[in-house]
Amino acid sequence: MNLTGHLLIGAADVAATEGTMKALNPATDHLIEPDFAFGGAAQVDQAATLADAAFDRYSHTSLAERAAFLESIADNLDEVRSELAARAALETGLPEAQLEGEALKAATQFRQFADVVRRGRFLQLAIDPAQPQRQPRPRMDHRLQKIAIGPVAIFGASNFPISYSVAGGDTASALAAGAPVILKAHNAHPGASEIQARTIRKAVQTHGLPEGVFSMVRGGGNAIGEALVDHPLIKAVTFTGSEPGGMALYRRAQLRPEPIPVFTEMTSVNPTFILPEALAARGAEIGDGFIERMLVNVGQACLCPSILIAIRGAGFDELRNAMRKRVSEAPARTMLTPGIHGAYVEGLVAMESAGAQVIAAGKPADATFAGRAALLEIEGQHLLGEPALAHEVFGPSALLVAVSDAEELLAVARSFRGQLSAAIHLEDPDLELARRLLPILERRTGRIVVNAFAHPQEVTYATVHGGPFPATSDSRFTSVGMTSIERFLRPVAYQGFPDELLPQTLREGNPLQLPRSVDGQ
């Protein structure tokens, strides 16, 4: 595919209005052709106007038509998988084979959402038939379905340049809901973003859908993101990134004349708790496995397990030694961007300044933006007195927290802010302590894993990728999995309608044969 560097606004390729950029290869510190266009508020307005014009038609497409559209996007992604992975590898320093897997995952998500659409359960159809003889007052016929909330602005993530980016789960779930998408591409991988955007636009054109169903914009600073959040035709925003960035968008959206939801996924250290019998039985195995998962993606994953808590006792030394060994053997690997690398280095300095001790370091970096693995250690009481030690350091580092007994372990658990996930390693004799720990974690996370690690995560109906603040801005929703579609839906009730005026989904006789609740049954 020939990269033009243009913005993709509806069916139009739009040249730069606010300057240009080149992609950076972080492994070589060299710029990569071509120039990529920056736009501004005018381009956001153009995209939003097209999205709004597309909304009524697109949101009322039949379930079969919408599912076929999503499957076309998946097919198009499959066609460019090798090219997309190669370009993404140049722009991120991540292995090409890993990125091919990520492209496959992206296509799979679109197919999964096509299945969600066909099944129709996301509409949450409900019918309360009329009761004309009811006393003291008759009941009119009531029927309910969920509809799309409106055009959605999606901010692409930096750390997964395909499956959390232009063709990621946010885009797939919003399009599945019937919401047109304006995608703000991340500047860390502009070429990979353009390839993905063109696969989506190709599917829009193949299915004869309104051009405003999808647009991709890009900007050189905060202005274009602010313009997206401010635009009155945008009805929801998704964001994956830092807590300061996410909260800036969230607050801005609440100051609009018409406030809108901002679904952020911001920060998490994904604490892992090793209970005593599991520690005694499997300390070395758990320690090695923990570091293995921590090192995935050079630690640049939202589900990276970053803090491990264990009671000093049988198996603790084996756990500690296994963690140190795995870290010391880890080669330094290229991080995604100079900014992420710089923040990682600063984060390690801050951890040491707060009292954490480095007890193992990976092999020295041999490239400018390579992240060197690190293992730090702290006592539980020190962590309780220094809450900043429990904040995320985005990169290949971990903190081992040694606690004196079960009460201190529970106290540390209570000290954590909201998390995307938490893990518990246990054996049968640990169940009593696990029962005490479980309600503490339920209040602080959206996903609890037993005898495994938080990363990786399956994309399923039961998946939850969310949690209390500051992991996300709204813990009622997940940003990954089939139920993530719920972020972009709202209920509408139809009362006293003649059958021919009702949406097909709610008509008598259930012509689409969809699952529906009738009088609660």
* 302 belongs to the catalytic site: yes
Q: Is 265 a catalytic residue?
A: yes
Tell me how far apart the alpha carbons of residues 377 and 358 are, in angstroms, rounded to a whole number: 6
Active-site pick, 91, 100, 302, 377: 302
Count CB atoms within 10 A of the CB of residue 98. 14
Q: Which of 265, 277, 318, 377 is catalytic?
A: 265
Alpha carbons 460 and 440: distance in angstroms, whole number = 25
d(CA 196, CA 171): 11
Is 165 strand, coil or helix? Answer: coil
Q: Which two tokens mark 498?
A: 């003649």
Which residue has tokens 């000290």?
A: 415
> For residues 496 and 115, what is the distance between their CA atoms, to the nearest angstrom?
31
Report the DSSP pairing between strands 374-379 and 357-361.
Answer: antiparallel
Strands (E) located in 97-166: 126-128, 142-148, 152-155
Peptide bond into 34 cis (omega under 30): yes
339 forms bridges with which residues in the sheet? Answer: none
Q: Which helix (H) or strand (E) holds 197?
A: helix 190-206
Alpha-carbon dihedral 381, 382, 387, 392, rounded to 10 degrees: -110
* Residues catalogued as catalytic: 265, 302
